[in-house]
Structure 1
Amino acid sequence: MARKGTESAETQSWQARQGQRRIVDMSGKALCADCPSSNPLIYEKSLTTSKESASMQRLAVCFAFLLVLCLPGAGHAAEPLTVAFLAGAGGLKSPFNQLAYDGLMEASENLSLEVIVDTTLADANDPALKRDALKRVIELGDAEYVIASGSEWVEAVQQSAQKHPDVYYTLVNARLEGLDNVSCIVFADQEGGYLAGALAALTTRTGLVGFIGGMDIPEIESFAAGYAAGVHDVGPRASVYVEYISDDEETFAGFRSPEQGYTMASRMYAKGVDVIFAAAGASGEGVIRAAQETGAWAIGVDYDQDHLAAGHVLTSVVKQVNNAVLLEVSSVVAGKFSPGVHVYGVKNGGVGLSPMTYTRDVIGKGVLEALKEIETKVADGEVDIPKTLPRQ
């Protein structure tokens, strides 16, 4: 996509010299290590996070990334592609948003990109403010490609995409179909939930396991449904207790209330539950604290949370958000943008369990081998995993 022919001085302040990576926030401050910056820490943190992973899953994604770069049109842009990143709830303090940002930063190491970062409205609930943020990065920042993290951006992206058909958009962890310039990164949450449920069934001593969700919404129910299915398929006599922290759809308080997560988990543990899978954002930290205090196990979500209470986080259901964003960005640069919903699951390395660094010795070789067999069946499509819980 060509840039506008004339640019104001204000617009030019957003832009990089050709061939030089530059990352700026909404106030125009540089955030990259090779540009003058009052605060380079965010960028340095993203590099540290990205480079720590050395799994086979990562190697497979990097290989796919190289294949994309070899496609006709890759790497031949006359000038850098301007990409705007709009963070969801929690900004870059949210590990999920940080992972999405990490994927973009890794792409910027290999591709000619100019990146605009906006976290100023991450926790804003007013749809009009979201729309204004998109207008700003496109009309002021001259963004040619927008990555928006979280379902709270759907309405604003829909309107913006209709108004700017020459701009590409990617929604992360949200669905929006029917627009030729919008792609969506979603994850097969039910598959990750199923693996967590299978492990819970293989390790529970009481036969009682729990699930705590931030809200009863489809994205969280798919975790719960997969988890319950995994438990019942592997341990048919086990019981699964499912609870949700909040039904507040305006503030999404269920994902921001560690104390409520702690109280709910403590109550479950007191009833004999010894494994709880928490899909509740920051509220899950309270569940993990309760597991540590009671000597029980919790299961983390979205990123590897095992270190938060070493030995008390059985595993974490990890979404490889950074890998997915990396592939989406490289496809745009290669001129191979593909609209629609792109699902990342166990088979393509989008969802899986953490390495269980602090618990694998306790879990034992036999259980880990059984879990590996289950994972292979899920990847091969041999297991029918529900996305919804049975209705009473």
Structure 2
Amino acid sequence: MTTASRPLAGIRVLDFTHAAAGPFATVMLADLGADVIKVEKPGRGDGSRHMGKPMLGPLESDYYVALNRNKRGIALDLGTAEGRDVALQLAEKSDIVVQNFRPGVMDRLGLGFEAISKHRPGIVYCSLSAFGSEGPLSDRPANDIIMQAVSGLMGITGEVGGGPVRVGAPISDFSTGLFGTVGILSALHVREQHPEGQHIEVAMLDASIALMSNYIPGIVALGETVPRCGRTHAQIVPYQAFECSDGAYVMVGAFTQGFWRRLCDAIGHSEWPDDERFVTNADRLRNRAVIVPMLEEIFRGHTREEWLNILNKADVPASPVLDLHEAVVSEQAQFNQVIQDVGTEENPCPTVRFPVRSSSWPLAESETPPRIGEHSADILAEILGKDSQEIERLLEVGAVGVADPAPATV
């Protein structure tokens, strides 16, 4: 599929992001067809290149590859006047700028919203940060695990009576990227009404707390706390994983009265929906200590597969609890084409396919993430019209870097 068939074809993004939150936002824009120009420091590049396991090269880790497909790369030293000047020229030719440096960094470089919007009216400029651009913690460094801790996410995650547990996925990073993408696309939709440009800001703290919106009314208005519930749910009963006779777990999500009644019929207790202790979800919450142990004893009576057959026939939401490898090779995940390879036939690397589907465009085929400065010369010539002599001069003064030859395998 060509980029022209995607909805953001013709949109250019200047991507100053690094690590996870920013690259997750820009990789979605790239998947949607935007021409994303990833700016990195010569020689060092995005810090995520050094996270995880090398996949396509010494500086193409699994972490980096996962978040930077479908982008082009240019290496610019923003510590030099020439490098900053090239960045500003690229911004003038772009529709969107995304950055996730600490607040104030881009302003000091002359590449903040105010500076760029003077040169590129109508720019959509997105800033992602830890705590926001102002406030008592705005200048503090943070990453996903820090934000999970300070937002309360870890505080509500963990086993009953146990300590706080980090959510396995970098959920603070990725939710920030998702909210950033929503803001960017919304700004694009109304940009003709804002010829001066628009500055979109998302703080990781705000995004992380937003993920717990269902708990906030009770916490704030009623002064309640959310206990750590392990594999159960603080607001719904039964909504948890149960251990079966073979030691495997089945997840049951009886989140409506209809599903609760079907579950009771399936497990041989049709009388429970009329028991005053268990009639409504509020009743079951009050009597969690009564109903859950009875359910646990019942589920220990059959294997996981036996329970899945019983519950599926009864149309009760249920599933096996899979590890990540089992999940991605499952029949439905393969049917959905969740995984696709980037790289080469000799050295492929599996990545997650963009999950949005549309009747208007087919699933995107991903391009291999760029090496540091892989497209520097092409970008300077194609977008800025620089000739070979000027490109060579920028290389000589160190303002621009180009990629070393790619290794065949790792």
Structure 1 or 2, whichever has the larger Rg, is: 2
TM-score, length basis structure 1:
0.33
Q: Which has the higher contact order (CA 8 A, sep 6+)?
A: 2
- TM normalised by structure 2 equals 0.32
